[in-house]
A and B are shown apart, each in its own frame.
Chain A
Amino acid sequence: MNTYYDPRDLARFAEIGEDAPEVAKRFFDYYQAVFAEGELTEREKALIALAVAHAVQCPYCIDAYTTACLEKGSNRAEMTEAIHVACAIRGGASLVHGVQMRNICRKVSL
């Protein structure tokens, strides 16, 4: 194996249940329920998942939810905007901690 990530492993996700079937079943049932049409459409949920996939930088999720977004009817511009939302929150989360830095600076500085 040349890399820790192999695209073929995505299809083997269910194998994670082999040594802990009960919790795996609960997780996959929950997962399925989460992505079902509700107050949000399946398309909107797939867009959120795509953005989160980029925030947590999961290549499996990026692969799966890029296709899911296309097949649920999102276009490339919408998907790009969703990733910018993830980027803004990630970047904003770093930047807002600058307030802590400034607080500490103020406390220890003359």
Chain B
Amino acid sequence: MNSFLRNLAVHRLQLTRERATTLQVNVGRLCNLACRHCHVDAGPARNEVMDRQTMEAVIDFARRNSFAVIDITGGAPELVPGIAYLLDQAAALAPTVMMRSNLLALAERSADNIPELCRRRKITIVASFPSTNRGQTEAQRGSGVWEKSIAMRKKLNEAGYGVPGTGLNLFLVSNPAGAFLPVDQCAAEKKFRADLARKWGIRFTGLFTFANMPLGRFKIWLEQSGNYAPYMEKLAASFNPATVAGLMCRSLINVSWDGCLYDCDFNMAAGLPYSGSPVHISEVPEAGEGIPVATGDHCLACTAGAGFT
């Protein structure tokens, strides 16, 4: 029994799937950055990306089901050939479609003009922004990221993103720049909103603060820096049973670049498939209810403090 399940048992809790309302699509591990906290170990040298046939299977699955949200993530989705097709199709199949972006890939010119497609189809952009401090941001995401990331945020504001009344949502995501817990989301949003407006005139719709997952490149760093055991102890000590009812893995189904299904992106990174054994998205009509969510020690990152919902 892993340490997460032990915590559930102590509180007599179970983690089973409910009706899936969010389809999360991880289109691949190719990325222009190699962030040190990345749980999928994405980077420029990775070549796993979703092909057109798998995209069609994802679209069919979304058509068969009625998802409230389609969440497209990576890697850097903007770099995946055919991503414009997937975004365009997805926008017709769910009320909310979001694309996770490090913004640097989005800033690069491409024939598909992804920023314009997102604007036209009102696709929500969820952009990484770990800290209002350049040093801490670049320590996590790589040197040279800060200026380009700020510039792209301003361009998105100019296009209407993050501006009330436009219907163009720009959410920011702040992961801690190290082996410590995330800031309270409300307090952080208030501070980010004031700091970004005062220093750079940047606006945004909302902020998410997420704990770093002890998986992939971040786990390697934790181990190499001697932080792994203290970090896991901190996560376990911060276990909050009240978060379990709202965990996203209950109502989300994740499909990886190769079409396999998982309960969440973290289980995809950890190699823990949906329903316990590998299954392709084309083989199932819908995500089942009442099925136990696959778990590992990393799940403690979703139940620490205010949780990861």
Contact = CB atoms under 8 A, between A and B. Distances in A.
A43 interface: yes
Interface string B180-207: 1111100110010000000000000000
Interface string B286-304: 0000000000000000000
Given A43-B191, A70-B176, A70-B178, A75 B183 contact: no
Contacts of A70: 176, 178, 180
A77 interface: yes
B181 to A, nearest CB: 5
Contact of A75 (B136, B181, B184, B187): B136
Interface string A55-79: 0000000000001001111011110
Nearest to A37: B187
B135 interface: yes
- The secondary-structure label for the interface of chain B is loop
Interface in A33-51: 41-43
Contacts of B184: 72-73
- The secondary-structure label for the interface of chain A is helix
B47 interface: no
Interface in A64-102: 67, 70-73, 75-78
Interface string B129-156: 0011101100000000000000000000
B187 A41 contact: yes
A78 B131 CA distance: 12
B187 A76 contact: no
Contacts of B181: 71
B136 A76 contact: yes
A71 B136 CA distance: 14
Given A70-B176, A70-B178, A70-B180, A75 B188 contact: no
Interface of A: 41-43, 67, 70-73, 75-78
Interface of B: 131-133, 135-136, 176, 178, 180-184, 187-188, 191
List the 5 closest pairs (A to B, CB-CB), nearest first: A75-B133, A73-B183, A73-B188, A70-B180, A71-B181
27 contacts: A41-B187, A42-B187, A43-B187, A43-B191, A67-B180, A70-B176, A70-B178, A71-B176, A71-B180, A71-B181, A71-B182, A71-B183, A72-B183, A72-B184, A72-B187, A73-B183, A73-B184, A73-B188, A73-B191, A75-B131, A75-B136, A76-B133, A76-B135, A76-B136, A77-B133, A77-B135, A78-B133
